[in-house]
């Protein structure tokens, strides 16, 4: 969907019950045509930056999405090793650590700062950089990896084609990492946006996992093209 003014966007967001405009970065130019997805992602990114250091806000939206999916598909249990990509502000890592109940490991990674969480090892860095990926692998060591969860998002430009390509690139990197490091029968949950490259990515997921499920949590309902793909049972 395209909005022709900030007022039009604000009216639509208000109708949907979205009231977090205070988190939109000041550089956003409402005189330009902007997509619904770009506005949503800008708010997500701003939320990450604003709330990473505030434990009381971690579960606002982001963590609740994982809770819904994890409970429905029984993703988390004590004893697992979990990697959380794009972890800030920490909602997903917090949920994972609580579900593991002190038995298992959660390794979280993000280029933004994130306040410490019990039971979570945090690496600050850009997942697209080889040195950061190498550090993640060092932290994992020889521990078998059971679940990769990725909520990574690119820096949003507001240009749909560019943002879609960057988002799919991050999803592809997360899938490559999962192929390399997941146990046989391991699972992979990744946020994607429908658009260019989506069908090819879905085919790659189906070639990698025994079962691929589409999930759209309640917290994502208003986001027209945002959804989560869950790959279950990595093929041997």
> Same domain, yes or no, for 40 and 144?
no
How high is the pLDDT of residue 125?
Answer: 96
Same domain, residue pair 24 and 118: no
Task: Confirm if 84 and 177 have CB atoms less than 8 A apart.
Answer: no
Query: Both 178 and 123 in a single domain?
Result: yes
DSSP state of 1: -
Report the alpha-carbon distance of residue 114 to residue 55 in Å, rounded: 10
pLDDT number for residue 31: 42
Beta-bridged to residue 94, according to DSSP, are none
Mean pLDDT value of segment 141-148: 92
Q: Express as a percent the part of the chain with pLDDT over 70.
A: 71
Assess whether 29 and 97 both reside in one domain.
no
Average pLDDT over residues 38-44: 55
Choose the weakest-confidence range: 75-84, 138-147, 174-183, 223-232.
Answer: 223-232
**Domain of residue 27, residue span:** 2-51
87 neighbors 136 (Cβ within 8 angstroms): no
Answer whether 140's CB lies under 8 Å from 107's CB. yes
CA-CA distance, 108 to 91, in Å (whole number)? Answer: 11
Q: Model-level pTM? A: 0.76
Residue 43: predicted pLDDT:
53
Q: Alpha-carbon distance 212 to 231, whole Å?
A: 4
Number of domains in the chain: 2
Ranking 26-30, 105-109, 130-134 by mean pLDDT, the lowest is 26-30
DSSP of 23-86, one letter per residue? Answer: GS-TT--TTS-EEHHHHHHHHHHHHHHHHTT-GGGTIIIIIHHHHHHHHHHT---TT-EEEEES
Q: What is the DSSP string of 134-169?
A: HHHHHHHTTPPEEEEEE---PPP-S-HHHHHHHHHH
Confidence of residue 25 (pLDDT cuts 50, 70, 90): very low
Look at residue 5 in the predicted model and tell me its pLDDT. Answer: 46
Q: What is the CATH number of the domain that holds 106?
A: 3.40.50.150
Task: State the catalytic residue, choosing from 64, 142, 191, 234.
Answer: 191
Active site residue 216: no
Residue finishing a domain among 51, 68, 83: 51
For residues 82 and 167, state if they share a domain.
yes
Do 64 and 25 belong to one domain?
A: no
Q: Are residues 75 and 6 in the same domain?
A: no
CA torsion through residues 130, 203, 226, 66, sign: negative
Q: Are residues 47 and 67 in the same domain?
A: no
Asked whether the predicted pLDDT for residue 185 surpasses 70, the reply is: yes
**How far is residue 168 CA from its own chain's centroid?**
12
Do 62 and 38 share a structural domain?
no
Residues 123 and 41 both lie in one domain: no
State the burial class of residue 103 (Cβ atoms within 10 Å of its Cβ: 0-12, 13-18, 19+). exposed
Q: How many CB atoms lie within 10 A of CB 191?
A: 24
DSSP string, 74-134: T---TT-EEEEES-TT-HHHHHHHHHHTTSSEEEEEESS-----TTEEEEES-TTSHHHHH
- 69 & 150 share domain: yes
24 vs 183, more confident: 183
26 and 78: one domain? no
């Amino acid at each position: 969907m395209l909005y022709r003014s900030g007022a039009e966007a604000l009216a639509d967001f208000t109708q949907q019950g979205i009231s977090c405009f205070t988190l939109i970065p000041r550089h956003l130019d409402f005189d330009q045509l902007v997509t619904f997805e770009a506005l949503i992602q800008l708010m997500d990114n701003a939320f990450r930056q604003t709330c990473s250091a505030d434990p009381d806000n971690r579960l606002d939206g982001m963590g609740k999405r994982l809770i819904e999916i994890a409970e429905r598909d029984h993703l988390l249990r004590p004893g697992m090793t979990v990697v959380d990509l794009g972890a800030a502000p920490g909602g997903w890592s917090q949920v994972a650590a609580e579900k593991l109940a002190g038995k298992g490991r959660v390794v979280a990674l993000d280029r933004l700062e994130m306040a410490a969480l019990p039971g979570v090892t945090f690496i600050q860095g850009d997942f697209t950089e080889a040195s950061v990926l190498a550090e993640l692998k060092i932290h994992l060591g020889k521990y078998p990896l059971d679940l990769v969860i990725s909520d990574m998002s690119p820096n949003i430009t507001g240009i749909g084609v560019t943002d879609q390509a960057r988002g799919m690139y991050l999803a592809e990197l997360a899938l490559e990492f999962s192929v390399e490091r997941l146990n046989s029968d391991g699972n992979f949950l990744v946020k994607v946006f429908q658009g260019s490259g989506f069908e090819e990515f879905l085919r790659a997921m189906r070639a990698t996992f025994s079962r691929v499920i589409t999930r759209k949590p309640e917290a994502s309902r208003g986001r027209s093209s945002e959804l989560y793909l869950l790959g279950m049972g990595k093929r041997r």
